[in-house]
Amino acid sequence: AAIMRRAFKIANEAPAGPVFVALPINVMEQETEILAKASTDTFTAPRPDPAGVAAMAARIMAAKNPIIVASDDVARADAVKDLVALSEAMGAGVWFEGIRHHINFPNRHPNAKGILPVDAGAIRNTFGEADLVMLIGGPFFEEVWFTSGLPFPDGATVVQLEEAAARLAHNHAVDAGLVGHLPTSLGDLTATLKASGDYQSAAKARNDALAAESTEARAAYEARSQRAWDRDPMSMARAMAEINAGTPDNAVVVEEAITAGLDLAQAFEFSTPGDYLSGRGGGIGQGLAGAIGAKQGQPERPVLAVSGDGSAMYSIQALWSAAHHDLDIVFVILVNREYRILKHNMDTYRQRFDANSNQDYPRMNLENPNMDFVSIAQGMGVPGCVISQPDELAAAVKGAFAKTGPYLIAVNIEGKR
């Protein structure tokens, strides 16, 4: 019991995460009346050091083109509103990690810049001419590909704010680091920046520029989507727009769309922690199973799971669990009959390492035979349907949410082009 209590403590303290406990069989076979109860209402995040706040604020105010990278501890600390206030006080765009678990900043806010790539060189190029990068609440960065150099522009100031000292400068040197309760720390920084009228004038100009960039980027995405709007099979952009049209506004979206994830982020609006859940670490297969936990954690909200067909096969038995517990979850499987992400990764690998092959994409297709997800679902007690026509998709999703119990929709979409 004492070991399990300690495990719960470590799992819940910043920087919270999974804990592995190994017990010998003789201990597991013994009985005890001592409960392994987790502690509640423990407040361990300290107030930020005023000197640290001042030092970080000074570096922020010296920058002309600051940006923020927000990670999952922002959502965990319920600090999204505080981050919005700071980004506006800084006039800073906010980037999301390429691999993330939560929504850490409203994705439709004018200061939201989007999702970062997954290698240092591409991240550095994405940051462009930023002269200050502020890292908040994460390990920074989970990279898929190695590139030499740092993920920051040359000469840029790097500052980091965390609730755990172990996170500060863990992977990258920082010019200023601050440990503290995230909502309080963000609030103190915001108040310091707002006290300077000259700085706020400059921040407002940056906010206006960010709003214009956001409008332009949105229009460019819509134009690209329209060019693919009537494709057959259905384009990813069209599929996500139709799925969003049929989904209740208060739904929790559990996302493992992977190569369709960028289109999902454009189609849906996520404002608060809990609106969006995904998986860290780079593995696949968590989407369907994650929806079970999402529904158990937020039973009052509709839950939508969006998964690629390849990813779904890693945890397809989650459909049985949903039926067994009679959970109201809508599962949408994007069927392109391939591991599209692996094909893209193969392209990247061949380009990076100048590796030629006499095979296009060996063993990356899900054909011969084609998988019948509706039959698979029905075999586990989950009814479902297949949608191939985009003008039928929104109504199918809306109808699925009107039903009780789990329901699966297999959507035939385009493959790699």
Class of residue 61 by CB neighbours under 10 A (exposed 0-12, middle 13-18, buried 19+) = middle
Residues in the chain: 417
As a whole number of angstroms, the distance between CA 12 and CA 183 comes to 17
Residue 198 has what pLDDT?
96
Grouping H, G, I as helix, E, B as strand and the rest as coil, residue 356 is: coil
Residue 52 has what pLDDT?
97
Which are the contacts of 230, defined by CB distance < 8 A and separation ≥ 6?
238
- Ordered mean pLDDT values, 10 residues apiece, the chain (417 residues): 89 90 93 83 86 98 98 96 99 95 96 96 97 97 91 98 94 97 98 98 98 98 97 97 98 96 96 94 91 97 98 97 98 95 91 84 91 98 99 99 99 92
Closest among 118, 126, 79 to 97, alpha carbons compared: 118
How far from 174 is each of 98, 127, 145, 157, CA to CA, in Å?
21, 17, 23, 8
Residue 41 has what pLDDT?
79
| Domains annotated on the chain, with CATH | 1-43 (no CATH), 50-211 (3.40.50.1220), 229-412 (3.40.50.970)
As a whole number of angstroms, the distance between CA 98 and CA 34 comes to 43
Q: Torsions phi, psi of 401, nearest 5?
A: -70, -20
Task: Yes or no: say if 303 and 294 are a contact pair by the CB < 8 Å rule.
Answer: yes
Residue 2 has what pLDDT?
86
The dihedral sign for the CA sequence 278, 282, 284, 285:
negative
Within a 13 Å sphere around the CA of 50, how many CA atoms are in the beta-carbon half?
0
DSSP category for residue 170: S
The dihedral sign for the CA sequence 351, 353, 354, 358:
negative
Neighbours of 5 (CB within 10 A): 15
As a whole number of angstroms, the distance between CA 72 and CA 134 comes to 14
> Torsion over CA of 297, 298, 302 and 308, rounded to 10 degrees?
-30
Task: Yes or no: say if 55 and 176 are a contact pair by the CB < 8 Å rule.
Answer: yes
Residue 81 has what pLDDT?
98
As a whole number of angstroms, the distance between CA 262 and CA 76 comes to 23
Task: Yes or no: say if 294 and 313 are a contact pair by the CB < 8 Å rule.
Answer: no
Place of tokens 């030092």: 55
